[in-house]
């Protein structure tokens, strides 16, 4: 994969010697020890940026593994949060000062308090430039109900989010954000055209209330009335799994499998085995499960995710979008795809083409531009201070 800077521009600003003009970037985020989309995106971003000759990129996990016997403490509920947080903050103090720019992944609520907040405060303490990469679809509720969130977020030099939906949410709170799409590695997913469309369904969200898997199960019950041979695979785990399995029994669902957690390396084969992807999410942002389904050639039927999904998938063009918690509409959309293979084929082709906008080649320039802007601001400010003057107002945080 080609990852060199895509246009001939000046190198990153630096007051260091010509032998070491690379911008030093520290990515702070969840490691793949944590199951979730943020960890996957952090790993993909780290991989892409590390190949750029103008950058020196390192990773600091918000969930560090303790060494030796101390790791046993991380197996104890509640205690693991305390010891992991202590290790995380200590590592921040040790490493942040060595970098020019701190790129911080962020979710919402308690996660925001435990992970991004210490990183932002420590980066600000050391005078580092901060990119807050906020990725939670629950941003509106978080910003509205957590009084400390907005003042902390304002300490960042730039806010980057994965979708136009979150740009609009942040704007309502007087916060300026920039949108850069999540990454999809098209090489991982085999695209195939499904002809005919089989009633073989997949859903792969966390089994938690936010993702409304009961809506998918109820839709599938309606589908099985018309297609008794239909199958549904539920990939993913969560505390609602026993309740969802009981609901499947109550609905008399047949051919329904709950797989639990599926390793990232096995997801491409799972996508390849299905023909239609169902998502019942109530609130979302830019779910990788949908963009990956688009890349793999699955037809996608999804709720609007509280308004987020239309920013990444166009209804009747690259997929079918139904109202939230409307299992009847979801079932009708799925049956429509099965009964109209020409429509299904056109939607899948358009979705695959749209997914090209989520590749590293498509977003590389945007990330480097973010770093470049902050790099020049840092350099100009340091030069002004070194000369004994004050930085210009346009250079201030």
Cα angle at 354 between 351 and 359, to 5 degrees? 120
Question: pLDDT at residue 79 above 90?
Answer: no
The DSSP line for 329-354 is HHHHHHHHHHH-HHHHHHHHHHHHHH
The residue extents of the domains of the chain are 18-183+359-395, 187-356
3-state class (DSSP) for residue 301: strand
pLDDT of residue 13: 55
Query: What is the torsional sign of CA 111, 105, 165, 336?
Result: negative
pLDDT of residue 35: 76
Q: Among residues 154, 96, 108, 153, which one has the least CA distance to residue 135?
A: 108
Question: pLDDT at residue 397 above 50?
Answer: no
Q: Among residues 116, 59, 60, 117, which one has the least CA distance to residue 87?
A: 60
Question: Class of 187-356 per CATH?
Answer: alpha beta
Q: Which residues contact 335 (CB under 8 A, 6 or more apart)?
A: 223, 226, 227
CB 168 within 8 A of CB 143: no
Q: What is the pLDDT of residues 19-54, one digit of tens each?
A: 467 999 999 999 988 878 899 999 999 999 999 999
178: enclosing H helix or E strand: strand 177-179
Alpha-carbon distance of 333 to 272, in angstroms, equals: 21
pLDDT of residue 14: 52
Q: Which tokens is 184 given?
A: 């999809």
Band of residue 75 on the pLDDT scale cut at 50, 70, 90: confident
- Determine if residue 11 is left, alpha or beta; phi over 0 gives left, psi from -120 to 50 gives alpha, anything else beta: beta
Band of residue 339 on the pLDDT scale cut at 50, 70, 90: very high
Q: What is the pLDDT of residues 153-167, one digit of tens each?
A: 999 999 999 999 999
**What's the rounded mean pLDDT across residues 226-247?**
97
CB 331 within 8 A of CB 222: yes
Q: Which residues contact 77 (CB under 8 A, 6 or more apart)?
A: none
pLDDT of residue 285: 85
Instruction: Give percent above pLDDT 90 in the chain.
Output: 76
Q: Which tokens is 385 given?
A: 């201070």
CB 337 within 8 A of CB 346: no
Question: pLDDT at residue 16 above 70?
Answer: no
**Helix orientation angle between 116-125 and 79-95, rounded to the nearest 10 degrees:** 30
CB 311 within 8 A of CB 165: yes
Q: What is the pLDDT of residues 172-209, one digit of tens each?
A: 999 999 999 999 988 899 999 998 999 999 999 999 99
CB 142 within 8 A of CB 127: no
Q: What is the mean pLDDT of the chain?
A: 89
3-state class (DSSP) for residue 54: coil
The values of phi and psi at residue 216, to 5°, are: -65, -45
Cα angle at 298 between 292 and 301, to 5 degrees? 95
HSE-CB for 280 with a 13 A CA cutoff: 26
- DSSP designation for 12: P
Alpha-carbon distance of 228 to 261, in angstroms, equals: 27
pTM of the predicted model, to two decimals? Answer: 0.84
- DSSP designation for 61: E
Q: Which tokens is 181 given?
A: 């799409």
pLDDT of residue 209: 95
**What's the rounded mean pLDDT across residues 129-153?**
96
The values of phi and psi at residue 39, to 5°, are: -65, -40
Q: Do 187-356 and 18-183+359-395 have the same topology in CATH?
A: yes
Query: What is the torsional sign of CA 370, 122, 49, 134?
Result: negative
Q: What is the pLDDT of residues 278-335, one digit of tens each?
A: 999 998 888 989 999 999 999 999 999 888 899 999 999 999 999 999 999 999 999 9
The values of phi and psi at residue 260, to 5°, are: 75, -160
Q: What is the pLDDT of residues 240-288, one digit of tens each?
A: 999 999 999 999 999 999 999 999 899 999 999 999 999 999 988 889 8
Question: pLDDT at residue 111 above 80?
Answer: yes
* Range list of H helices, 213-266: 213-226, 241-250
pLDDT of residue 20: 66
CB 259 within 8 A of CB 234: yes
Query: What is the torsional sign of CA 53, 21, 154, 369?
Result: negative
Question: pLDDT at residue 385 above 60?
Answer: no
Band of residue 15 on the pLDDT scale cut at 50, 70, 90: low
Fold (topology level) of 18-183+359-395: Rossmann fold (3.40.50)
């Amino acid at each position: 994969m080609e990852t060199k800077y895509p246009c001939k521009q000046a190198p990153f600003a630096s007051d260091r010697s010509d032998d070491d003009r690379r911008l030093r970037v520290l990515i702070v985020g969840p490691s793949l020890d944590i199951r979730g989309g943020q960890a996957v995106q952090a790993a993909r971003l780290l991989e892409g940026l590390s190949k750029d000759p103008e950058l020196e990129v390192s990773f600091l996990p918000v969930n560090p593994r303790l060494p030796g016997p101390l790791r046993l403490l991380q197996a104890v509920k509640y205690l693991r949060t305390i010891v992991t947080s202590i290790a995380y903050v200590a590592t921040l103090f040790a490493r942040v000062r060595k970098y020019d720019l701190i790129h911080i992944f962020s979710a919402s609520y308690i996660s925001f308090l435990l992970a991004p907040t210490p990183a932002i405060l420590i980066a600000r303490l050391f005078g580092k430039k901060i990119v807050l990469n906020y990725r939670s679809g629950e941003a509106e509720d978080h910003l509205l109900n957590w009084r400390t969130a907005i003042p902390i977020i304002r300490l960042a030099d730039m806010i980057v989010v994965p979708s136009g939906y979150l740009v609009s949410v942040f704007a309502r709170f007087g916060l300026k954000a920039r949108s850069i799409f999540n990454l999809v590695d098209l090489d991982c997913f085999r695209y195939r055209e499904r002809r005919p469309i089989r009633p073989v369904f997949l859903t792969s969200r966390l089994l938690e209330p936010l993702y409304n898997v009961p809506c998918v199960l109820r839709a599938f019950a309606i589908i099985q009335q018309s297609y008794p041979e239909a199958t549904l695979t539920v990939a993913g785990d969560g505390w609602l799994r026993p309740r969802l399995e009981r609901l499947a029994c109550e609905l008399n669902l047949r051919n329904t499998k709950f797989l639990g957690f599926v390793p990232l390396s096995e997801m491409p084969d799972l996508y390849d085995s299905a023909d239609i992807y169902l998502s019942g999410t109530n609130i979302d942002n830019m779910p990788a499960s949908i963009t990956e389904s688009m890349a793999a050639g699955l037809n996608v039927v999804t709720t609007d995710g509280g308004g987020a999904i239309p920013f990444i998938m166009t209804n009747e063009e690259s997929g079918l979008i139904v109202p939230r918690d409307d299992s009847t509409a979801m079932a009708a959309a799925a049956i429509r795809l099965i009964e109209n293979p020409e429509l299904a084929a056109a939607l899948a082709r358009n979705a695959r083409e749209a997914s090209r906008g989520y590749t590293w080649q498509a977003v590389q320039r945007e990330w480097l531009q973010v770093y470049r802007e902050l790099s020049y601001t840092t350099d100009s400010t340091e030069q002004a201070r070194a000369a004994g003057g004050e930085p210009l107002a346009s250079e201030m945080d």
